[in-house]
Amino acid sequence: MVTSTQQNILTVDAEAVVVGVFSDSGMTNPAMAIDRAGGGLLARLIESKEVAGKPYELTSLWSPPGLKAPLALVVGLGEQARFDQGMAYRAAAAAARQLAGRQRGRVAFYLPGGPNGEFTASGISGALVGCQGQDLYRAEKKRHPIGEIAWAEASDAALAAGNIIGENINLARLLVNEPPQEIFPASFTARAAEIAQECGLEIEIWDQDRLERERCGSLLAVAQGSVRPPRLVMLRHSGGRPDQRPLAFIGKGVTFDSGGLSLKPSDSMKTMKCDMAGAATVLAALTAISRLKLPVNVVGIAGLVENMPSGSAMKLGDVLTARNGKTIEVQNTDAEGRLVLADVLDVALGLKPSKMVDLATLTGACVVALGVDVAGAMTNRQAWCDEVLAAARTCGEPLWQLPMFAEYRDDIRSEVADIRNTGDGRWAGAIAGGKFLEEFVGDVPWVHLDIAGPAFYDKPKPWLDAGGSGMFVRTLVELARTHSGN
Ligand code: BES
Ligand code: MN
Ligand code: ZN
């Protein structure tokens, strides 16, 4: 947990202090204090371009003169005018990641919080996220949680928000990073139940029986190849007026995606434990929203299945009947996420949401289109999509909209059933996924986030170890916040 400190940077009790330097305007005030105490040490480093203030650049100053702490870590913040929540988050995470490289006691952060402290909470979250790694099962860890993180000039509200959001980003990352023999539908919902109990979320879990009674034929078809029975979980936070329609967040929870009979090549399958990242994001966001006591009604729903090939697996050519009555011709069992979401979206509609957002590691095509760092957004209502894009921009989580022209509907036309579960060959695969999901959202304003790229890093970033990223937890919380009181 991050606590606050009022102590002066020169005399603070800490093993290390963290200060920032901009690439254009140079030292922040705390950096200047170190510079003055050290007789212009930092100014000389900047002068000689040893310290340039580029994003995530890290420079360790050992035993800087005039400082009680034995180490000052200088982190680059980029251009001052572009400093935002995203940069505050990632710069703090980069510094924490470096410091967590070995066991440490107390560390004090003196990073800028923006003109009105509006970036402080993001920085605090970043510091918590930077010191958690993915080496859950290694004897010798790469990251060691910092004993105590102290933050200068943090309001109580920023501290609370930063801690809660940071902890829940780490929860989402942990659930993604846990191996698939640990996280499967029933174990995921068991964890969700524990968490819901702790933070006071209402929870409802549907087992195989209930899913059958609810005629979730599309989700069940994906699950039928696995010995692990499926689950659906609903979480409810009622912070708003009783008559206020809830926001609905919906997550794809494929706890392992082998591709089914349309088996993935081994290399593509290696990281497919990440295919429940949407569900993890929704659980983490609902937990954070509940702990922040936001005055808004939100429901979170996730469909949990394992996609496996077996004698009982669904086949190519099978025709499924989804919960909303539409028939689906299966053309590729690896396009399973949309089959799961089809029924989960219909369950969500039953809760009369005002607006919906689904999050899914849905298509490799989205990664081809936008790269590994950017998620794709698709919508049936531009005004709602604009709000989601704005929330993502506020948080510094990269999101880019893809078109949903009516013509794309042809891509999912079937000769046998109402629709088929794949698009037209190689083209516009991410959008075909979006068009498929659109068939299941009725008239409710909806945004689909294809997070196949940024949900899971194959390689480490300067600010984060490889593995689950927890990306879009912050955007969902921001959406709930901007909707408060509506
Ligand atoms: N889970 C995958 C998508 C994915 C790819 C997630 C890479 C994360 C990283 C999804 O279920 C899938 O297999 N999609 C297919 C769809 C196709 C068969 C229409 C794909 O992208 O190839
Ligand atoms: Mn798949
Ligand atoms: Zn998948």
Dihedral of alpha carbons 423, 427, 429, 434, sign: negative
pLDDT-above-70 percentage for the chain: 99
The pLDDT tens digits of the residues spanning 376-435 come to 999 999 999 999 999 999 999 999 999 999 999 999 999 999 999 998 888 999 999 999
CB 334 less than 6 A from any atom of ligand 1: yes
The pLDDT tens digits of the residues spanning 131-156 come to 999 999 999 999 998 999 999 999 99
pLDDT score of 199: 95
pLDDT-above-90 percentage for the chain: 97
Residues within 5 A (CB) of ion ligand 3: 254, 257, 275, 337
Q: Stretch 354-371: mean pLDDT, rounded? A: 98
- Angle between the 382-395 and 85-99 helix axes, to the nearest 10 degrees? 40
Q: What is the mean pLDDT of the chain?
A: 97
Q: Stretch 432-451: mean pLDDT, rounded? A: 98
Q: What is the pTM of this model?
A: 0.98
CB 332 less than 6 A from any atom of ligand 1: yes
Catalytic annotation present for 323: no
CB 335 less than 6 A from any atom of ligand 1: yes
Catalytic annotation present for 264: yes
Q: How far is the CA of 211 from the centre of ligand 1 (A)?
A: 24
The pLDDT tens digits of the residues spanning 171-219 come to 999 999 999 999 999 999 999 999 999 999 999 999 999 999 999 999 9
pLDDT score of 484: 60
- Whether the per-residue pLDDT at 21 is higher than 60: the answer is yes
Contact between 255 and 273 under an 8 Å Cβ cutoff? The reply is: yes
Question: How many Cβ atoms from other residues are within 10 Å of residue 317's Cβ?
Answer: 9
pLDDT score of 486: 45
CB 411 less than 6 A from any atom of ligand 1: no
- Whether the per-residue pLDDT at 485 is higher than 70: the answer is no
- Whether the per-residue pLDDT at 233 is higher than 90: the answer is yes
Q: Which atom of ligand 1 is nearest to the CA of 262?
A: 18
Q: Stretch 438-466: mean pLDDT, rounded? A: 98
